[in-house]
Amino acid sequence: MATVRKLPSGKWNAQIRMKGHPQASKSFPSKSLADKWVKITESEMIRHIYTKTNTTTLAEALDRYRLEITPSKKGAKIELIRINQWLQNPLAQKPLDTLKPLDFAKHRDSRLQAGIAASTIRSELAIISHLFTIAAKEWGMSLVNPIDNIRKPKADNARDRRLDRDELIRLLAACSLSDSHLLPYLVEFAMETGMRLGEILSITWDMVNYTDKTIKLNTTKNGDSRTVPLSSHAIHLLKTIPRDIKRDNDNLYKPTSEDVYIFYTWKRSDSIKRSWHTALNRAGITNFHFHDLRHEATTRFFEKGFNVMEVASITGHRTLQMLKRYTHLKATDLAVRLH
C-alpha cells in the first residue's frame, strides 16, 4: 500500500508498505515525482528486485559504472577522465537517493560560469543520467533520475576563430621554445591534417604508409576507422621529428621500444594543456583552443577547392550539418573569387 501526502514544507512524501519488504519512504519536490517513485518501487517489490539505495553513494556507483559499463564504450578514455572529475566533486559522497535535480542544476550553472563549453557540461550530465538509468534497470535500485528534471545547456559551441599570419608566426616561434620538444611538430601536423588531438596522440609509426602518403586510424571519435591523406609537408614533419633528444643534463634520450607513439611526449589529450597554454601566453595569443587548429585546417581544405564530401573524407565529419561551421571563409577571400 502506498500513500503520498504533502508536507508542511511544501514537499511531497511517499510511503510504501508491502508485505515481505521494509517500509520505504522518500520525499520529493513535486507530487508527480513522488508518484513516479511509488510506481517504480512497487513494481520492483512485486518482482522481488527492490534494493534500498540509501547506503550507496554516487562515488561507489561511479566506481561500479566505470568497471562494468564504461569499458564497452567507444569513448571510454574520455569518459574515464570525466568520471574521475566527478569523483572529486562533493556530490560524489552523497547517497544516490538523496541527490536532487537542484544539485546538478547548481553544478551546471557553476560550470557555465567557469566558461566550460556547453557540450562538455552535457557530456558530464549524460554520464550521471546513464548511471541512474543503469542503477534502476540493472542494479535493482529504486531511483528517480535527477538529470531528467533539469535544463541542459544548449550545445552551441561553433567557433570560427582563426589565426592571422602574424599570430601563426608567433605561435610556432613560441612552440619552438617549449620544453616539450614535439610541440611545434604537433601543432603544424594538426593544421596540415585536420585530425583531432586524441587521434594524433594515438598514432603509432606502423600506422604511417609513406608509399600511399596516408595514416590509417583504426578507431576514431565516431567509432569508425579512417584513412587520412598526408600532404607533402605532413610527410616532411613525420620524417624530421627528432628521435634522439638532448636533455638539460646533456644526456641523450633515446625513445624505448615502448615509445611506439609518434607524439610520445603526451599520453592523453589533457596532458598537453600546460605546454599549450604556456606557448599561447608566450605568443600573446588569446581565445584560441587547440581544437581550433582542426577548424583552421578544415577551412583551409575548403579554401583549396575541396568539396564537402572530400573534406569529410579527410576530417572524418559525418554530416554536412557538422561541416557547416567549418566553412566560414573570409569575406575578402570570397570577394576575390567573385571577380
Q: Which residues are catalytic?
A: 196, 221, 291, 294, 317, 326
What whole-number distance in Å separates Cα of residue 235 and Cα of residue 89?
44
| Beta strands, E only, 1-40 | 2-6, 12-16, 24-28
Long-range Cβ contact pairs of 252-259 (< 8 A, separation 24 or more):
none
Phi (first) and psi of residue 22, to 5 degrees: -70, 155
The span from the CA of 173 to the CA of 166, in Å, is: 11
Give me the sheet containing 12-16, strands edge to edge.
Answer: 2-6, 12-16, 24-28
Beta strand 226-229 with 12-16 is unpaired
- Cell numbers given for 19: 508485505
- Backbone phi and psi for residue 172, each to the nearest 5 degrees, phi listed first: -65, -35
- Cα 99 to Cα 27, 52, 190: the distances in Å are 11, 15, 42
Q: 11: number of CA atoms within 13 Å, CB side?
A: 9
Cα–Cα dist 115/122, whole Å: 14
Whose grid coordinates read 546538478?
104
Whole-angstrom Cα distance, residue 174 to residue 30? 56
